[in-house]
Amino acid sequence: MDFRLELMHPAFEPMIVGGFEALAAAFPDVTVKYVWVGEPRRRGDVSMGYFDEDGKYIRLNSHWLGREPSVLRAAALEPPLFHGRMTQEPEHLIAHEFGHAFEWSNPTIRPRIKEVWSAATKRPKSECFADYALTNPCEYFGELFALVRMGLADASRLREYEYVTSG
C-alpha cells in the first residue's frame, strides 16, 4: 500500500499510516493500491473520504486531514451523530473506507450485505447502530466493518458480520 500524504497535517501520519497498514496486514487479500489526501472535490465538500472502486484507492479530504486532528475529532462529536457510537476519528474513517475495499475484494459477500441492509431498513431507524449505515448496502457494510474493527459491535452485529463475511 502506498501513501500520498503531501496535503495531510503531519500529526495525522502515525494514525493514518499505522491504521491502514494494520488493516492491510490483517487482510492481505484486500486491494488498496494507495491512500491519498486530496483537496475538496468541490466548494463545500466536507465528506471525509471515499474508496474509488475503479482506481482501487482511498481518497481522504484535506478539508479534515489537512488540519490539526483536534478539528476532525471535535466535529465528530457534534450531533447529529450519523455514525452512532463511532465518534472516534480518524479511526472510524480508516476502518470504514477499508471496509469498502474489503467488499470490492470480496464481491461474493454482496447478496448477504444487501440482505442485512434491507432487513435493517425495515426495523425502526432508532434500532440501527448508525444512521449512515441505512444509506445503501455499501455504506451499511462500511459502517458494520468499522463497528467490528473498533470493538463496538454487540453480539448480534458480530453475528451479522460473521454471516456476511462468510458468504
Q: Between 137 and 142, name the residue whose CB sits nearer to Zn ion.
A: 142
Give 17: exposed, middle or buried? Use CB within 10 Å, 0-12, 13-18, 19+: middle
Q: How far is the CB of 10 from Zn ion (least distance, A)?
A: 26
Q: Give CA–CA dist 101/95, Å, rounded.
A: 10
Q: How far is the CB of 96 from Zn ion (least distance, A)?
A: 5
Chain positions 85 to 144 lying near Zn ion, rule: CB under 5 A, are 139, 142
Q: Between 52 and 115, name the residue whose CB sits nearer to Zn ion.
A: 52
Instruction: Report DSSP letters for 14-83, one per residue.
Output: HHHHHHHHHHHHH-TTS---EEEEE--SSTT----EEEETTTTEEEEEHHHHTS-HHHHHHHHTSSS-TT
Residues 6 or more apart whose CB falls under 8 angstroms from that of 127 comprise 120
Residues 6 or more apart whose CB falls under 8 angstroms from that of 24 comprise 1, 30, 32
Q: Between 6 and 45, name the residue whose CB sits nearer to Zn ion.
A: 45
Binding residues for Zn ion, rule CB under 5 A, total 2
Q: How far is the CB of 132 from Zn ion (least distance, A)?
A: 8
Q: How far is the CB of 100 from Zn ion (least distance, A)?
A: 6
Site string for Zn ion, 19-48 (x = CB under 5 A): ------------------------------
Point out the residue whose Cβ comes nearest to Zn ion: 142
Q: How far is the CB of 126 from Zn ion (least distance, A)?
A: 21
Q: Between 10 and 76, name the residue whose CB sits nearer to Zn ion.
A: 76
Q: Give the footprint of Zn ion on this chain (CB under 5 A).
A: 139, 142
